[in-house]
Chain A
Amino acid sequence: MSMPTTSPQGANDVAVNPLEDTEALLRVNGVTKHFPIKQGIVFQRQVGAVRAVDGVSFSVRAGETLGLVGESGCGKSTTGRVVTKLLDPTGGEIIFNGENIAGYSRRQMRQVRSDIQMIFQDPYSSLNPRHTIGTIVGAPFRIQGAKTENGIKAEVQGLMERVGLNPEHYNRYPHEFSGGQRQRIGIARAVALRPKLIVCDEPVSALDVSIQAQVVNLLEDLQSEFGLAYIFVAHDLSVVRHIADRVAVMYLGKIMELTDRDSLYEAPLHPYTHSLMSAVPVPDPHKESKRERILLLGDLPSPINPPSGCVFHTRCPKYRSVLSESDQQRCRGEIPQLEEKTPGHLAACHFPEVRADIAAAEDTGVAGA
Chain B
Amino acid sequence: MTAQPLNVQLGQPKTDAFLSVRDLRVHFPTGDGLVKSVDGLSFDVDRGEILGIVGESGSGKSVTSQAILGLHKGSRARITGEIWLDGTELVGASEDDMRSLRGDKMAMIFQDPLSSMHPFYRVGDQITEAYRVHNDVSKAAAKKRAIEMLDRVGIPNPEKRFSDYPHQFSGGMRQRAMIAMALVCDPKLLIADEPTTALDVTVQAQILDLMKDLQKEFNSAIILITHDLGVVAETCDNVVVMYGGQCVETGSVDEIFYQPEMPYAWGLLGSMPRLDRQRQERLQPIAGQPPSLIRVPKGCVFNPRCRFQDKVAEGLCVTEHPDLLPTGTSPTHSVRCHINPDERRRIWADEIKPGL
Residues of A at under 8 Å CB distance from B? 71-72, 178, 180, 208-214, 216-217, 220, 235-239, 241-243, 261, 265, 275-288, 293, 295-296, 298-300, 359-363, 369
Contact = CB atoms under 8 A, between A and B. Distances in A.
A299 B170 contact: yes
The 9 A-B pairs of least Cβ separation, nearest first, read A281-B230, A213-B285, A213-B271, A242-B273, A279-B205, A71-B200, A283-B229, A213-B283, A210-B286
Contacts of A275: 202
B227 interface: yes
B181 to A, nearest CB: 20
B304 interface: no
A276 B286 CA distance: 29
B283 A282 contact: no
B278 A361 contact: yes
Given A281-B230, A282-B233, A237 B275 contact: yes
22 contacts: A180-B289, A209-B268, A210-B267, A211-B285, A212-B271, A214-B285, A216-B273, A235-B200, A238-B230, A239-B273, A279-B201, A280-B275, A293-B205, A293-B209, A295-B205, A296-B202, A296-B206, A299-B172, A359-B275, A361-B277, A362-B277, A363-B278
Given A299-B172, A362-B278, A208 B290 contact: yes
A300 B170 contact: yes
Nearest to B279: A242
B274 A238 contact: yes
B295 interface: no
Interface stretch (B27-35, B94-102, B252-260, B311-319): B252-260
A178 B289 contact: yes
A217 B283 contact: yes
Contacts of A361: 276-278
Given A214-B285, A241-B273, A242-B283, A209 B205 contact: no
B115 interface: no
B272 interface: yes
Nearest to B229: A283
B69 interface: no
B254 A285 contact: yes
Contacts of A280: 201, 230, 275
A214 to B, nearest CB: 4
Nearest to A361: B276
Interface in B233-279: 233-234, 253-254, 257-258, 267-269, 271-279
A58 B211 CA distance: 39
B204 interface: yes
Given A208-B57, A299-B173, A213 B272 contact: yes
Given A238-B274, A265-B275, A295-B209, A282 B254 contact: no
Given A71-B200, A217-B285, A237-B201, A210 B271 contact: yes
Contacts of A178: 289
A60 B86 CA distance: 60
Contact of B276 (A217, A235, A282, A293): A282
Given A241-B275, A296-B202, A281 B231 contact: yes
Interface string B267-309: 1110111111111101111100110000000000000000000
A277 B201 CA distance: 9
Nearest to B287: A214
Contacts, number: 141
A369 B268 CA distance: 18
B286 A238 contact: no
Nearest to A71: B200
B149 interface: no
A281 B272 contact: no
B171 A235 contact: no
Contact of B233 (A284, A295, A362): A284
Contact of B206 (A235, A276, A284, A295): A295
Contacts of A220: 282
A285 B253 contact: yes
B44 interface: no
Nearest to B208: A281
Interface string B8-46: 000000000000000000000000000000000000000
Contacts of B290: 208, 210
B228 interface: yes
Given A72-B171, A281-B233, A362-B276, A211 B202 contact: no
Contact of A283 (B173, B209, B232, B282): B232
A71 B282 CA distance: 26
Contacts of B284: 213
A235 B196 CA distance: 14
Query: Which of the listed residues A210, A242, A261, A277 has the most CB atoms from chain B within 10 Å of its own CB?
Result: A210
Given A180-B289, A280-B230, A241 B279 contact: yes
B154 to A, nearest CB: 9
Nearest to A221: B282
B56 interface: yes
Given A213-B286, A216-B283, 5 more contacts: A242-B283, A281-B204, A281-B230, A295-B205, A360-B276
Contacts of A214: 285
B170 A279 contact: no
A211 B269 CA distance: 13
Contacts of B209: 293, 295
Nearest to B170: A299
A214 B170 CA distance: 34
Given A238-B274, A361-B277, A276 B285 contact: no
A284 B201 contact: no
Query: Which of the listed residues B275, B279, B280 has the most CB atoms from chain A within 10 Å of its own CB?
Result: B275
Given A261-B279, A284-B233, A210 B258 contact: no
A128 B274 CA distance: 34
A286 B257 CA distance: 10
Query: Which of the listed residues B202, B258, B278 has the most CB atoms from chain A within 10 Å of its own CB?
Result: B202
Contacts of B201: 71, 235, 237, 276, 279-280
Contacts of A295: 202, 205-206, 209
B280 A242 contact: yes
Contact of A279 (B204, B271, B277): B204
B326 to A, nearest CB: 21
A295 B200 CA distance: 13
A210 B205 contact: no
A243 B282 CA distance: 9
A72 B278 contact: no
A359 B232 CA distance: 18
A279 to B, nearest CB: 4
Contact of B272 (A235, A283, A298): A283
